[in-house]
Amino acid sequence: MKKPNSKVPLVRVNDHLWRIPKSYREGMLVDGLIYASDELMNLLREDQAAEQVANVAHLPGIQVASLAMPDIHWGYGFTIGGVAATDPLEGGVISPGGVGYDINCGVRLMRSTLRESDVRPRLTTLVEQLFREIPTGVGKSGRYAFDKSELRQLMRDGVSFLADRELATAEDIEQTEAQGCLDTADPNLVSDRAFERGKDQCGTLGSGNHFLELQVVDEVFDDRAAQVMGLEQGMVCVMIHSGSRGLGYQACDDSLKTLRGVPEKYGIVLPDRQLACAPVESPEGLHYLGAMCAAANYAWCNRQLLMWQAREVFARVFGKSWESLQMNLVYDVAHNIAKFETHNVDGKLKRVWVHRKGATRAFPPHHPEVPASYQEIGQPVLIPGDMGRASWVLVGQPGSMEQTFGTTCHGAGRAMSRTAAVKHAQGRRIDQELAQKGIIARSHSWKGLAEEQPDAYKDVNMVVEVVHQAGLSKKVARMRPIGVIKG
């Protein structure tokens, strides 16, 4: 982690909200607001993430506040857990640092009719088979390869491209944020190098904190919402966390190189060059947006193909079709993305670009972008924790629209750097520690599990409690891990 930073003034607003006054530093256009409990704020004081919240408050056209969720930690430019809305009519900018390198990294959850008692006798076999058949790890290619023409179409059309090839259903598309496609995608703005990196990585898990996890619905907190989602206590579900792989990383890297010197061109003064940006309507801004949306569509296809492969493995292990096991998609959410949305800002409806970096959309009941099946309960929100404790399902609440541009947290948030986590794991076998808890974990390396050990993360239960109490999203069910594959 970064060295402690105590100079940022943090003024308590209430039990779950802290303010950085815009008077803290010349050039801040709005306050910073951080959602956190006392315990989480103590962890935050360990690094310089609050400084990054203040930095983001300098962005031209920023609306209301520079926001951070309770899973906040240091990132590139924006903090992980950072949220900022900019108005293009007020000179608002778009910043790749507000989306991140892994464009449209996100989470999807698939339910089933299987109970834990059905899966336990075959758990090791199931995890081993998933690990063998689903490509994991740095740079791994998969069974789905697309030529440049096909890849261009995939990035333009999103998951509907896979539906045409019988690799996605109409229900899969309906239960995916934005129906798995941003129509402003322009694959022609994606570099040849990005195409090359993405040609055989769609349907691969990747490395780092990406995972495929078998989970049991451990406790239900909202019976009605759980029933609408088809979730029941004791049910086995599959959670998938991955993004746009090398293609998205390259698209971000290309854009950051293109944006060097662009802020100066438009007279934009920034406290950190990692916040490189461009006015939304400028040629440079539109170029980034077209490429970013194309990479986002690729990421939705990646998670769809990962889910499809998981369905096939379950069908073979249990000798039943995935349809008869009712392995249906509950929802898919993005948490590294920028989207053009309508929000009420100081009593006026505005169209703004909402940057969400390590933050999840949390639209409330009756919002027009919530799928028809969830109109009465709100958008499902999927919050992965760590592989030793829990993950959560929530639903969006009206408070998110009133406070955070329709946003909530995205996970537990790191409490240790990867280097510190590896040091902390010396002499230990994380896989054996997890096995003692009834969790089967597979990774290609000891280091991979060491970096992602439970101690490396904040307690997701504390993070979720903050957004629940703040009215951003509401608890529906807690999920307990029983099996996990990682890169």
Evaluate whether residue 361 is within a structural domain: yes
Evaluate whether residue 271 is within a structural domain: yes
Residue labelled with tokens 């089933």: 112
Q: Which of 43-47, 143-147, 219-223 bottoms out in mean pLDDT, i.e. has the lowest?
A: 43-47
The predicted pLDDT at position 7 comes to 84
pLDDT at 339 over 70: yes
| Beta bridge partner(s), residue 14 | 17
CA–CA gap between residue 154 and residue 204 (Å, rounded):
16
The predicted pLDDT at position 4 comes to 45
Read off the amino acid at residue 402.
Answer: E
Q: How would residue 341 be classed by pLDDT, with cut points 50, 70 and 90?
A: very high
**Phi and psi of 50, rounded to 5°?**
-60, -35
Evaluate whether residue 6 is within a structural domain: no
**What does the pLDDT average to over 443-465?**
94
> 349 lies in which domain range?
11-486
Q: How would residue 6 be classed by pLDDT, with cut points 50, 70 and 90?
A: low
Here the tokens at position 372 are: 């028809």
Task: Give the tens place of pLDDT for each residue, 393-404.
Answer: 999 999 999 999
The predicted pLDDT at position 20 comes to 98
**What does the pLDDT average to over 362-389?**
97
Single out the residue of 240, 106, 217, 236 nearest to residue 476, CA to CA: 217
Single out the residue of 73, 65, 52, 58 nearest to residue 8, CA to CA: 52
CA–CA gap between residue 312 and residue 426 (Å, rounded):
37
At how many degrees (to 10) do helices 283-318 and 245-258 cross? 170
**β-strands 473-486, 440-442: how paired?**
parallel
121 and 483 Cβ atoms separated by less than 8 Å: no
Evaluate whether residue 435 is within a structural domain: yes
Domain at 354, CATH number:
3.90.1860.10
Evaluate whether residue 1 is within a structural domain: no
At how many degrees (to 10) do helices 148-157 and 283-318 cross? 100
Q: How many domains does the chain have?
A: 1
Here the tokens at position 104 are: 């449209």
The average confidence (pLDDT) of the chain is 96
Query: CA separation (Å) from 475 to 221, 238, 253, 380, 382?
Result: 6, 19, 37, 10, 10
Percent of the chain predicted with pLDDT > 70: 99
CA–CA gap between residue 388 and residue 481 (Å, rounded):
7
Q: How far is CA 60 from the centre of its chain?
A: 25
The alpha-helical segments, DSSP class H, found in 274-397 are 283-318
How many CB atoms sit inside 10 A of residue 408's CB?
Answer: 37
What is the number of H-type helices and E-type strands within the chain?
Answer: 17, 19
Percent of the chain predicted with pLDDT > 90: 94
**What does the pLDDT average to over 161-184?**
98
**What does the pLDDT average to over 328-337?**
98
pLDDT at 1 over 80: no
**What does the pLDDT average to over 147-154?**
96
410 assigned to active site: yes
Evaluate whether residue 45 is within a structural domain: yes
pLDDT at 54 over 80: yes
Read off the amino acid at residue 76.
Answer: Y
Evaluate whether residue 2 is within a structural domain: no
Q: Length of the chain in residues, anyone?
A: 487
Compute the C-alpha angle 177/325/440, nearest 5°: 85
CA–CA gap between residue 52 and residue 276 (Å, rounded):
13
Residue labelled with tokens 């439970």: 454
Q: Choosing from 16, 335, 410, 468, which is the catalytic residue?
A: 410
**β-strands 236-242, 106-110: how paired?**
antiparallel
CA–CA gap between residue 392 and residue 384 (Å, rounded):
6
CA–CA gap between residue 178 and residue 172 (Å, rounded):
12
The predicted pLDDT at position 443 comes to 94
Compute the C-alpha angle 480/483/486, nearest 5°: 115
487 and 205 Cβ atoms separated by less than 8 Å: yes
The predicted pLDDT at position 219 comes to 98
